[in-house]
Amino acid sequence: MESYFLDWANLLLRWVHVITAIAWVGSSFYFVFLDSSLTPPVDDDLIKQGVSGELWAVHGGGFYHPVKFAVRPPTLPAHLHWFYWESYSTWLSGFALFSVSYLWNASAYLIDKSLMNWAPAAAIAVALSFFVLFWLLYDAICRIFGQRKQGDAMVGALVLLLVCAASWLACHWFAGRAAFLLVGAMMATAMSANVLFWIIPGQRKVVAAIKAGEPVDPLHGQRGKQRSVHNTYFTLPVLFSMLSTHYSFTWNHPQNWLVLILMMLAGAAIRQFFVLRHGYKLGRNRHPLAYALVGLALIAGVVVWMRPAAIDSIAGGARPVMATGQVDYYSEVKKVLAQRCYACHGAQLQMKNLRLDSDEAVQRNAAAIYQQAVLLKAMPLNNATQITEAERALIGLWFTQGAKLP
């Protein structure tokens, strides 16, 4: 019964998390586009008001004319919309989902004993420390180097090294799927912390100064913009790390940490293309196609590098022959199931109400076995029973040859 309610909690939290993430990412992408597409105002009245940029757009049957005041507007409107609950709701729902999916049953989902055989409490503490330490180190990098000449390049390089180090550690300490999600959640935590500790407080100080009739320090806007730009570059890497948890061929790879780094780097390069593309249309920079090509080349390189070998070449070896003259793969597959699968799907325990200790049950669930053990490599969970690639390939041969029983 506990598993049933946990599944419902997982589904509902995932639903909320996706909805709020769409709202946050959408608003972030829109404002990056807006900033990159603004042109100097031509109307004298706008210039007198202190407008630094404007944009005309058409959408949904109407025309829109947003304008930007770089430092302060002449007067504050009665109703000012703040963009922060999209960020906070995304993080809160995401952390709740992470807790239900991974921390609640850390021994099964967070820990891979072949990597680190630690107690669940220790694994949870270390996993949570990734969130805190990454934010503290990232924030320190921005504080120390962000205001220097060529500071953006220095910050970018140091943050990249920090992400690489965290990815390597996570993939060597935690189960692959948990490691990928942990790195993404770590970066998403920094994104939300940017909003909580820098962007919104800076905007509140600007609003307070305007209401008090005091001069506005432009530094608040500059710092907020810097962190907002960082957030937009984090977005595609974070989304990949989250989505890849559903594709075990990524996090099950022997060099999964490198897969994660290369794909996140590709995402950041592709995001750079879209950020600069808007400015290119206005003649502000060269065509950014090179960034998109770098990102696509990285993805293509990872795809080629990770391509699996043929199943029959992995399985190898002679197999018993049935009376019909056909190879009896099942007699070997049954041995693999007994050694690797019966612990969770046998007489004593039936995870997900599935038993595999009878020939009829195996044949009835042949497609699911092939999908989970061969294609997705999601089972055994975290490879707790140490199934080998040759054994997975053997199951694959049995299934592709018709999943026949003796």
In a domain, 229, yes or no: yes
pLDDT tens-digit readout, 126-166: 999 999 999 999 999 999 998 776 778 899 999 999 999 99
Q: Is residue 102 part of a domain?
A: no
Cα–Cα distance between 38 and 1 in angstroms, integer? 56
Indicate whether 285 pLDDT > 60.
yes
| Domain-ending residue, one of 278, 306, 334 | 306
CB atoms within 10 A of CB 57: 12
Q: Which domain holds residue 377?
A: 312-400
CB environment 332-356: b (16+ within 10 A), e (fewer): bbbebbeebbbebbbeeeeeeebbb
State the Cα torsion 210-216-218-222 to the nearest 10°: -40
Beta-bridge partner residues of 58:
63
d(CA 214, CA 236) in angstroms, rounded, equals 39
- Same-domain pairing of 260 and 335: no
Beta-bridged to residue 39, according to DSSP, are 54
- Taking CA atoms, 1 is separated from 6, 7, 109, 164, in Å, by 9, 10, 19, 40
Q: Which of 271, 306, 341 is the last residue of a domain?
A: 306
pLDDT category at 195 given cuts 50, 70, 90 is: very high
Residues 373-378: contacts with CB under 8 Å, at least 24 apart: 374/311, 374/399, 376/247, 376/248, 376/249, 377/248, 377/249, 377/252, 378/248
**146 shares its domain with 270:** yes
Pair (158, 201) in one structural domain: yes
Beta bridge partners of 53: 68
Q: Is the residue at 25 inside a domain? A: no
Total structural domains within the chain:
2
Are residues 322 and 345 located together in one domain of the fold?
yes
The distance from CA 116 to its chain's CA centroid, rounded to whole angstroms, is 23
**Domain identity same for 345 and 293:** no
Same structural domain for residues 299 and 324?
no
Same domain, 321 and 368: yes
Neighbours of 201 (CB within 10 A): 14
Query: Does residue 259 surpass a pLDDT of 90?
Result: yes
pLDDT of residue 323: 46
The pLDDT score that the predictor gives to residue 10 is: 85
| 66 found inside a domain | no
375 with 298, same domain: the answer is no
Residues 125 and 246 in one domain: yes
User: What pLDDT was estimated at residue 383?
Assistant: 76
pLDDT tens profile 225-244: 899 999 999 999 999 999 99
pLDDT at 382: 74
Same domain, 183 and 323: no
Q: Which residues pair with 345 in a beta bridge?
A: 350
Residue-wise pLDDT tens digits, 306-316: 987 666 555 55
131 and 234 both lie in a single domain = yes
- pLDDT score of 249: 86
The domain boundary, picked from 286, 306, 326, lies at 306
Residues 301, 341 within the same domain: no
